[in-house]
Structure 1
Amino acid sequence: MIPFFLDLKDFKVAVFGYGDVSKRRISKLIESSAKIDVYSLENVEISKDYTYKDITYKNCDINKLTNQELEALIKKYDIIITSIDKKNNERIVKISKNLKKMISSSTFESEINFIIPAYYKKDDICFSIYTGGKSPLVAREIRKLVQNYLNDNELEIEIQEKVRELLKNNGKNKKENQNGALCDTNIFKNQSDRKEILELAFNDENFKRKILNLITEYSKNKNK
């Protein structure tokens, strides 16, 4: 497996089961704007648990569904999350994989192809970690460390963002040379040059103060 980020807006997700594991998965999926259907024997009212319009609850006894019926149901969805008994998890994983669906299960982790890891999101920054099921507690503690770091370094992040914007936009408007030809005035075209400036902005306090002054001046001129 390799990690990647996926925009799940309007993806159809089926969640089998409504225990603690499923609820944690659902809470993460809600942030993705996916359309979620929850299949469970439990008589619960989803709307009372989540203020999210694209989630529905469907009373369903998976034990009473044949493999053919289960396959017809799974075909309707893009992503399958299952967290019920081991026997039915195995059925759902097997059918989902045969249908080339993204499947995540609370059991049979070696057989699944889709993981929802521990993660933390702040604005446009998202960090995730997965330990292969070996230590969810370690994943949680590492997530907390990153979360605290991002919260404690908001100014650093803002400076880096503004500096990158300045470097990328520098010289976007081409100027005429002595011969009347347009030439590129961007002196930071090379990625390694931009990286060096960004590292200075991160590590040098004097440089950081100068950059903040430049950012302030740049913002004033941009808004004129």
Structure 2
Amino acid sequence: MYLPTLLSFKNKKVAIFGCGNVGKRRAKKLLNAGAEVHIYSKDFDERLLNYGNVKFFKIDLSKVGEEELKNIIKNYDFIVTAVNEEINKKISEIAIKLNKFVNSSTEELNFIIPACVVKEDIIFSIYTGGKSPILAREIRKMVEKYIDKGEIEFIGAFRKFLKDKVKDSKKRREILEKLFTNERFQEELLRLIEKWEDDNNTEG
């Protein structure tokens, strides 16, 4: 069972094994979060160098033994595997034994990088347990439509104003809840989930 949480990746060392589409997506997210990223792969996308704190190590992971992998993995805080099922499993098992945080397509994983929306100080993430990445994507897109930079700044300023003017925390909460009420958003989210459930029942 997982507990949703927010973690600072600033100055954290991350090893990503593989530089295909999944590896590149993970690298971009982690680099944007401030991590120090090292990529181990036969191939490399030079555009990732534009993100700054990234290094590339050319290596054929199909020919690397367990001891060499241990010597690599032990130097990192987080491990991401994005090669193929066989190599991902091999790397993940070693990393788990070394008490590392592991993100992988295999069952040997203990941290997840979900679909998310980041706008100003709002971070919204969605995870479907791998059952429906499409649903997660559609919810993310829908949420993005409802998050407006101007509204965020206004709500932040309004909350500060309330804290200065309304000393009763219960009363402040009641006022803010009225501000956040958006029936259209709730109806659209419910409609999307119901459609996904209907599609699943039809496929079954």
State which drifts further: 156-165 or 63-72: 156-165
3-state SS, counterpart of residue 102 of structure 2: strand
- 1:149 aligns with 146
Deviation (angstroms), 1:155: 4.3
- 1:113 aligns with 110
3-state SS, counterpart of residue 76 of structure 1: coil
Does the aligned pair in 2 maintain the 1:35–1:55 contact within 8 Å?
yes
One-letter amino acid of the structure 2 residue matched with residue 124 of structure 1: D
- 1:34 aligns with 35
Pick from 198, 204, 215 the counterpart of residue 176 of structure 2.
Answer: 198
Q: Runs of at least 4 residues of structure 1 off by over 6 A?
A: none
Deviation (angstroms), 1:129: 0.4
Tell me the distance in 1 between the aligned counterparts of 2:118 and 2:88: 30
- 2:163 aligns with 168
One-letter amino acid of the structure 1 residue matched with residue 154 of structure 2: I
Deviation (angstroms), 1:165: 0.7
Does the aligned pair in 2 maintain the 1:93–1:112 contact within 8 Å?
yes
- 2:101 aligns with 102
Tell me the distance in 2 between the aligned counterparts of 1:158 and 1:41: 45
3-state SS, counterpart of residue 51 of structure 1: helix
The answer to which structure has the higher helix fraction is: 2
Does the aligned pair in 1 maintain the 2:11–2:34 contact within 8 Å?
yes
Pick from 136, 140, 146 the counterpart of residue 137 of structure 2.
Answer: 140
Deviation (angstroms), 1:30: 1.5
1:63 is the counterpart of 2:62: yes
Deviation (angstroms), 1:65: 2.0
Does the aligned pair in 2 maintain the 1:81–1:103 contact within 8 Å?
yes
For residues 45-90 of structure 1, the C-alpha deviation after alignment (integer angstroms, 9 at most, x for no partner) is: 53x3441221011001222222111111100000000011222111
Structure 2 residue runs without a partner (length 5+): 182-204
Tell me the distance in 2 between the aligned counterparts of 1:95 and 1:57: 21
For residues 86-136 of structure 1, the C-alpha deviation after alignment (integer angstroms, 9 at most, x for no partner) is: 221111111111111110112x1x331111111111111111101111111
Does the aligned pair in 2 maintain the 1:156–1:202 contact within 8 Å?
no
Structure 1 residue runs without a partner (length 5+): 171-186, 204-224
- 1:178 aligns with none
Structure-2-length-normalised TM-score = 0.82
Does the aligned pair in 2 maintain the 1:8–1:34 contact within 8 Å?
yes
Does the aligned pair in 1 maintain the 2:89–2:108 contact within 8 Å?
no
- 2:82 aligns with 83
One-letter amino acid of the structure 1 residue matched with residue 158 of structure 2: V
Find the structure with the greater CA-based Rg: 1
- 1:218 aligns with none
Aligned residues: 180
One-letter amino acid of the structure 1 residue matched with residue 155 of structure 2: Q
Deviation (angstroms), 1:201: 4.0
- Once the two structures are superposed, the pairs formed by residues 182-197 of structure 1 within 5 Å of their partners are 187-188=166-167, 190-197=168-175
